[in-house]
Amino acid sequence: MYRAASKLASSVSSQTSRKLVCSRVLCNRNYVAKEISFGVGARAAMLQGVSEVADAVRVTMGPKGRNVIIESSRGYPKVTKDGVTVAKSIKFKDKAKNVGADLVKQVANATNKVAGDGTTCATVLTQAILLEGCKSLAAGVNVMDLRKGINMAVDTVISDLKSRAVMINTPEEITQVATISANGEHEIGELIARAMEKVGKEGVITVTDGNTLDNELEVVEGMKLGRGYVSPYFVTDQKTQKCVSPLYPFSNSFYFKW
């Protein structure tokens, strides 16, 4: 976009030509008509999209959930047990059904960002709330009363879950949780548990693609800055590209690693 704008600006030499170019750009805009739906038909189409996405995602629920094979236009099919990945891959031709699918995707994405897991459970709950809510609306229940009832139920469920929650502290418990989130890969679960044991609860763990066949765990001590040195003269060890701080003469282990 920037390159096209630069070429356009360089080719304009007078005020008149600038006006002509601007008018052409404005005239070439395309306006797409919006399709508006109301009533029972709109809700039925939306619920159909919600149900089809939720039915595809629900099979991955829990430690005994099954895998889903997703067709890929580029490369090989993808086999996954992640609910949010399955939801993102579904798209319908019907726009009304797509609205329902997007609602489910929004819930799954929000759950994934906050908790990192539980997307399948959130999808199934979304389907149940929408289906039962639409049944209540069809029976004549007031919308605001229905909303208040849902909020009261949510508060009750959250309080009950907090009372039942068990904090995990041991490496074995962390391994169990991480293994479930890693689609049953026990090796990855153990690796995550080791990483959390090394850096603690407040540490930062970064996952990157490796160049080898085996999974590796690297622990970096000190502070890491991504922008590099202000000046290359800060480097005191050219071989390791480290800067040993002269401000701490009694500590040989203090350095910045890049």
What is the domain-level CATH number for residue 123? 1.10.560.10
pTM: 0.64
Q: Which of 62, 228, 50 is nearest to 129 (CA)?
A: 50
Our CA angle for 176, 177, 180, nearest 5°, is 85
CA-CA distance, 255 to 245, in Å (whole number)? 6
In a domain, 64, yes or no: yes
pLDDT over 70 (residue 131): yes
In the prediction, which pLDDT does 127 show? 92
In a domain, 104, yes or no: yes
pLDDT over 80 (residue 142): yes
Report the chain's mean pLDDT, rounded to a whole number.
77
In a domain, 93, yes or no: yes
Same domain, residue pair 103 and 201: no
Provide the number of structural domains found in the chain.
Answer: 4
In a domain, 234, yes or no: yes
In a domain, 214, yes or no: no
Same domain, residue pair 105 and 132: yes
The average pLDDT across 187-199 equals 87
Same domain, residue pair 58 and 119: yes
Same domain, residue pair 157 and 251: no
In a domain, 212, yes or no: no
Please, which pLDDT band fits residue 225 given cuts at 50, 70 and 90? Answer: low
Residues spanned by the domain of 229: 220-258
Q: Which of 178, 145, 140 is nearest to 63 (CA)?
A: 178
Same domain, residue pair 51 and 145: yes
Q: What are phi and psi of 132, to 5 degrees?
A: -70, -35
pLDDT over 60 (residue 178): yes
Same domain, residue pair 53 and 147: yes
CA-CA distance, 116 to 235, in Å (whole number)? 39
Same domain, residue pair 51 and 98: yes
Same domain, residue pair 174 and 105: no
Please, which pLDDT band fits residue 232 given cuts at 50, 70 and 90? Answer: confident
CA-CA distance, 91 to 107, in Å (whole number)? 16
Same domain, residue pair 142 and 112: yes
Same domain, residue pair 155 and 172: no
Same domain, residue pair 94 and 159: yes
Dihedral sign computed on CA atoms, order 185, 187, 193, 198: negative
Q: Which residue has the higher pLDDT, 14 or 220?
A: 220
In the prediction, which pLDDT does 245 show? 64
Structure tokens at 142: 């007031």
In a domain, 213, yes or no: no
In a domain, 191, yes or no: yes
Same domain, residue pair 63 and 133: yes
